[in-house]
Chain A
Amino acid sequence: MPLKLKGLNFVRKKHKIQPQLTDTNAQNFRTMKKERLLILSIAMFFSYAITSCQQGQRQEATDLLSDSLVASDVRLDDRMVGEMISSIPNPVEMSSLLQKSGVVYSQELLNPVNNVNNYNTNFKRALNLGVYGTDLVYMNIYDRTVATLRYLSNVRDLASDLRVEQFFDYETLNRLSESARSIDSVLFITNSGFDRMSRYLIDQGRSNIAVLISYGTWIESLYIATNVQTVPPNRDLINIRIGEQKKVLDNMLLLLHTYRRDPNFVGLIEDLMELKAEFDKVTISYVYAEPTMKEIDGMIVVVDNSRSEVNISEEIVQAIADKVSYIRGKIIG
């Protein structure tokens, strides 16, 4: 697995480079000050010094460039990752289900807008890009277009920091979210944006980011589903859907395992293992039924009558909800 090895290399490199870098930064700062004195005497010399100083920093940056190409044979692994990511339900499915179940919109459930300022690392950014993406969808389904703008901006900012901004046509989204009628378009663009983004990331050899985004999306969906209030109180459908996530969780764990050499991922895996413990209490039985044939518009269609039966108690749901809240709190914090 060359990709992971490379990642590991970087981690090691980072440790070596870091102290050196802070030193040079301080040095740069000091020389800058000295140069300020110099400008009073010789402006030209000063600016020349500045140029060379910047060139120094520049040199350091270009040192990171590889002088040869790394053979790009990592795709096989990534294709599998891509398939697994697409098997994870996207936020739109979850949200429309919630709407159908008479869930009351609750702003408090969302990740506060200003939290975006705390996400400095790609790890945090990717997770929360998923979180905010889900929030955005949730809001749009309930026509909360005014507040949408801030979330849209967050999604855009995080995507931009991750350098995947090209998948969000900010201006179009902005325009669309101004009118309630174009909600479907917003949802579509957001959703397809996320889809294309993950494909792109995988393609670019940054599948770890894609995994993190979909992990964030999934946790946030789960979080909303476990915490919503319904009117009238009818959580059956929701609970069933929550129970169904048992399978998804397994996939998710598998995905995360791929990156287990990254300490960040290790933390995620540990959290997910705890959640898995709760989900293990959910039983899913598969009831087989004979498929039937049906004629629809002159076409003969085979209907699969088998179904899964999810057994999940309120207590389990509550336990899952608590765990999800805990995990989600770690993500957005």
Chain B
Amino acid sequence: MSEEILKALMQLFAIIAKQDVGLSENERAFVHNFLRLQLNESSVKEYLALFDSFIDSEKDKEKKDENPDKPQKPRLTSVKDSVKTLGIAKKINKTLTQKQKVVVLVRLFELVNSDKNFTPQRMAIIDTAADVFNISKEEYNAISSFVVNETPDEINFADTLIINAREIEDNKSHFIQSQQLDGSIIILRVNSVDLYFLKYTGKSEILLNGLPINSQRIYLFANGSVIKQPKGKPIFFTDVAAKFLSDSSAIHVVFQADNVGLTFPNGHVGLRDINLQEYSGKMVAIMGGSGAGKTTLLNVLSGIDAPSQGNVNINGINLHQKTELVKGIIGYIPQDDLLIEELTVYENLYYSTKLVYRDLNEQEIDEKVNKVLTSLGLFYIKDLKVGSPLNKKISGGQRKRLNIGLELIREPAVLFVDEPTSGLSSRDSENVMELLRELTVRGKLIFVVIHQPSSEIYKMFDNVIILDEGGHQIYYGNPVEAVIYFKTIDNQINSDVGECPRCGNVNPETIFSIIESRIVDEYGRSTGTRKVLPREWVGHYREKIVVDKKSEQYDKLPNAFLKPNWFKQLKIFFQRDLFSKLANTQYMVLNMLEAPILAFLLAYVIRYIDDPTSNIYIFRDNENIMPYLFMCTIVALFVGLIVSAEEIYKDRKILKRESFLNLSRSSYLCSKISILFMISAIQAVLFVWVGNSILGVKGMYFEYWLIFFSLAALANVLGLNISSAFNSAVTIYILIPFLIIPQMVLTGAMFSFDKINRSIGGGREKVPIIAEVMPSRWAFEALIVNQFVNNEYEKQFYELRKLESVFNYKNVYYIQELRRYVENYKSRVLAGHEEPISTDNLELLYNELRKENHSEYAKFHNIIFEDIDKINTEDFTMAVADDILRYLVRLQDYYRENFNRIHDNIDNRVTQMVSTPEKREQYQQVYNDYFNDYLSKFAKNVMAPLPLVRLGNNLVQKLDPIYLDPQDRRTFSFRTHFLAPNKNVLGNLFPTFYFNVMVIWFFTVMAYIALYYNALSKMLTFLENTSGKLKNKFSENAFKIKGIKLRKKKT
């Protein structure tokens, strides 16, 4: 208390005391006592002197004014005194909190009460003061009645509680029976400020927090206080508070944990046999050394983790089994921030509110948010951005309060708070804890995991659960009692004193130094061994403390709050995410610039003029177009992954909290995905626009965009998968190369599928399966095929060239090869070989001729080899061979004929197109602008060492893959060779470009499903657990083996 206030108080006391009869001895003694409680001995004297001087000066003045002749009769308070009182009270108003003002008012009453001299003048002064202090009439009356009346019968308010041997009838007061109590203890609750005052009317020695009570005085009955009587049970603050709250409008919650135990999947025991029962309006601390399982317990109690034994009930409903029924009434405030850093204080609360209340309109939400902000004392900073903990815009205490506010807006009946004070200054810590404490007044049950609380904070709790290593519950009960309990077991002196008799401090650290004290060796050094093992503490606990579990009539829990529907949630999530992203300028700028800058760098670097003598860029001559397409796919993957990799990870704390809101995961994910898709779509536009413009890729913007976007979208969902499964940003970024590099390797651009390891499918007819699962390969193939087939130049000839290619291949290579086998047979027969043709070669001939018979051109030429069944080891003769040769010659003639036809047709077209110089110019322009030489060489696989290869007993075409439709047309064979222009869909040909786009989107949908069911994270936990179990097993075995060896030695 400041000097000024104390002076003001002295003045106020003096004004009251000097009224009518003047200062009595009792009153002076009261002032003396009051000062003694506040100050040291020398200062007490000083202030007492000040008080006396005020009294004297007042008297002098009055004497002068007084007319000695007039008989002394009661007068009204002088106007001067009233004005003075007003002045002092106003001064006090400016500096003291409402709570302190109530205390001052009670003290004023007490002063008057010390002499029982309740004259109207004195009361008028107090009245004035109460008026200025803004204390309501009802509370004023209650305080007055509480101070003035001596017997409980006269006090008849709902705000009082009487502790007595017998209940008084027809009294509104609450009542606690205490059989052996002499007189009564009367407790007053000042509702507006949640303060409790206590006075005692009997003669027994009653101890309040270990200090004797003077029956003349009124005491503040603070949180965590204990009243002890010579005989009978101590009365705890919580007992009193519970009485007041029992009939408040909030639902009454009974929270029970029965023999709760938790064994982690890897075999470690996290919790053992936890029992507790709590009610609305209490604040319970969960304490313990580090690693004792505090947070584990909190997670089990809040329903995040399921216990492996026992159950947790809220009003008789099992939290872990009927989650849906109770989830809505549970709130959880994790240790870390849940705030969206880019949004303002107001916006953070605003979106939380929207997600919780379906039926409120904008105005009601605004009112609600503002109300909560005011009650949190954050209203004046509501438009500040929250900022990150490192880049602070608002203080740590404010952040914490805002976090609590997020939960408050929903008003859950049970609130779980994990280390709310960690990292806060002691002032901020107390503020935060007071805020929580205030909530209990509103009937909330609050569990708080707390570490090293200050005495102030420690005493705020109604109950404390103390855990020891291995999740043992070793204490459950009143916090101050806890100190005494452990001191007693430890046989310490003064073991019955919980708090310091002078200052009232409780040191919770004593508890832990006792619990964890170590055995000291002969040199006085502490050893690693504990004096009392957790097991033994549990033994003491079982012996001495019984958790009182009454089964009661439970209130019905309210229905789960009405959360918004799926689309509304999506909209809110979307807005919240979008605005937080828009607010993050750095993020926006980087993301929007990333794609065009990369595109510019890439395209500008690889745009070159092939002809050293020319200054004109020609698209056709640029050999880098194929690598550019490859880079497009890689950039799309990269950009898509980077933009999403941290998304869910960043939100995971918020998600954890929001899991209590029972919101739809899919709407959350869809909101994320739609925003990411939007970003990717824009990035794709920018990339393709810049890249293609620079490189002069003409007329394919949409197709390039579609591929870039599809791939980036897939990468987005993949990124979300890893960001939801892994628990650190570093891990996530380490993973990105794992996702990208295999895709680079298996795109088909850097390494031909013909030239990769055969054990993974290299050099086969179709793309290796390992590459089929690489989205980049589909994208790259789509880009190449599209660029080659659909460019304005090639489009004019593609179908003709395709036929030309087929006939050329058949004519020049394929039939030639088949003839070779047959002619070889003939020459070997002539040479008299025993086995002129091998079974394999026969099979090859059979296979290929069968294919030819069924080829799509057979219906045109009708050249069918009828005796195909004769191609086997028994029936194959010279005659058959000659038949085959004749057949092949005819076939070859057909192919040659038609090749020439098509070839000439194309040539005629071109000749026509270049018939005049202008036309020729035009033709050349289209050719130069749309066609790309190197890309077409790549697409035609010009560099292939062999135009056809024998794989097994089949011949496979390697030349001109871009002109070769898939040969395998069975219904479900989707796989083809690389760069096939069409894909087989249920026996029909489907353009590769759109087929591949669909494959990429199919991957995306699969990735979404995996994301929705958290498949990756489940897989990871499964792996972790199995490895954990294996480790355990291994170490057990190791012990066993050691044990056996030892035993052997003994024998």
Chain A residues near B (Cβ < 8 Å): 7, 10-11, 13-14, 17-18, 21, 25, 28-29, 36, 43, 46-47, 50-51, 54-55, 57-58, 60-62, 64-70, 72, 114, 117-118, 120-123, 160, 163, 165-166, 170-171, 204-206
Contacts and interface: CB of A to CB of B under 8 A. Distances in A.
Nearest to B860: A65
7 contacts: A10-B908, A47-B998, A58-B802, A69-B890, A69-B894, A114-B613, A120-B923
A163 B803 contact: no
A21 B799 contact: no
Q: DSSP majority for the A interface?
A: helix
A11 B904 CA distance: 9
B804 interface: yes
Most buried by B among A64, A66, A70: A64
A163 B803 CA distance: 13
Interface string B879-901: 00000000000100110111111
B812 A58 contact: no
Contacts of A122: 903-904, 907
A266 to B, nearest CB: 14
Most buried by B among A17, A60, A114, A170: A114
A170 B912 CA distance: 31
Contact of A166 (B702, B799, B908, B947): B947
A135 to B, nearest CB: 18
B990 interface: yes
B924 A118 contact: yes
Contact of A61 (B802, B862, B913, B947): B802
A118 B618 CA distance: 13
A113 B126 CA distance: 112
Given A7-B904, A43-B994, A51-B990, 19 more contacts: A46-B994, A47-B994, A57-B799, A64-B902, A65-B898, A66-B897, A67-B861, A68-B861, A69-B893, A70-B897, A114-B611, A114-B614, A117-B620, A122-B904, A123-B911, A163-B808, A170-B942, A171-B943, A204-B811
Contacts of B799: 54, 57-58, 60-61
B212 to A, nearest CB: 85
A191 to B, nearest CB: 21
A14 B909 contact: yes
Contact of B702 (A13, A17, A29, A36): A36
A308 B863 CA distance: 56
A121 B901 contact: no
A1 to B, nearest CB: 16
Given A25-B795, A114-B611, A64 B994 contact: no
A66 B994 contact: no
Contacts of B904: 7, 10, 122
B900 A50 contact: no
B857 interface: yes
A257 to B, nearest CB: 20
Most buried by A among B910, B923, B943: B910
A61 B901 CA distance: 11
Interface in B906-963: 907-914, 920, 923-924, 927-928, 942-943, 945, 947
A65 B702 CA distance: 35
A205 B942 CA distance: 25
B860 A67 contact: yes
Nearest to A205: B900
A121 B857 contact: no
Interface extent on B, as a size class?
Answer: 35 or more
Given A61-B902, A121-B911, A163-B804, A47 B857 contact: no
Given A61-B799, A66-B897, A163 B903 contact: yes
Contacts of B905: 10, 13-14, 17, 64
Contacts of A114: 611, 613-614
Nearest to A125: B907
Interface of B: 611, 613-614, 620-621, 702, 795-796, 798-800, 802-804, 808, 811-813, 857, 860-863, 890, 893-894, 896-905, 907-914, 920, 923-924, 927-928, 942-943, 945, 947, 982, 988-991, 994-995, 998
Nearest to B927: A120
A65 B903 contact: no
Contact of B803 (A25, A54, A62, A120): A62
A163 B899 contact: yes
Nearest to B994: A47
B905 to A, nearest CB: 6
A160 B942 contact: yes
A65 B994 CA distance: 29
Contacts of A36: 702
A62 B702 contact: no
A54 B991 contact: yes
B901 A206 contact: no
B532 to A, nearest CB: 72
B901 to A, nearest CB: 6
Given A64-B905, A205-B900, A120 B991 contact: no
B981 to A, nearest CB: 9
Nearest to A67: B860
B908 A14 contact: yes
A81 B3 CA distance: 127
Most buried by B among A25, A36, A68, A121: A121
Most buried by B among A14, A43, A61: A61
A195 to B, nearest CB: 17
Contacts of B613: 114
B912 A69 contact: no
Contacts of A121: 907, 910-911, 914
A297 B266 CA distance: 96
Given A61-B800, A66-B901, A50 B991 contact: yes
Contacts of A69: 861, 863, 890, 893-894, 897
A167 B901 CA distance: 21
B45 to A, nearest CB: 91
Contacts of A163: 804, 808, 812, 899, 903
A62 B807 CA distance: 12
Contacts of A166: 812-813, 947
Given A51-B988, A120-B923, A204 B896 contact: yes
Contact of A205 (B702, B798, B896, B923): B896
A299 B573 CA distance: 103
B991 A47 contact: yes
Closest A-B pairs by Cβ, 9 of them: A14-B908, A61-B799, A122-B907, A47-B994, A57-B799, A121-B911, A65-B860, A163-B808, A58-B799
Contacts of A165: 942
B190 to A, nearest CB: 68
Contacts of B982: 54
Contacts of B908: 10-11, 14
A29 to B, nearest CB: 8
Contacts of B898: 64-66
B903 to A, nearest CB: 6
A280 to B, nearest CB: 33
A171 B945 contact: yes
Contact of B796 (A25, A51, A65, A67): A25
Nearest to B618: A117
B927 to A, nearest CB: 7
Given A25-B795, A206-B900, A62 B924 contact: no
B804 A50 contact: no
Contacts of A66: 860, 894, 897-898, 901
Nearest to B991: A50
Contacts of A10: 901, 904-905, 908
Contacts of A64: 800, 803, 898, 901-902, 905
A206 B903 CA distance: 10
A170 B903 CA distance: 23
Given A18-B912, A50-B991, A65 B947 contact: no
Contacts of B804: 163
Contacts of B702: 36
A138 B998 CA distance: 54
A304 B908 CA distance: 50
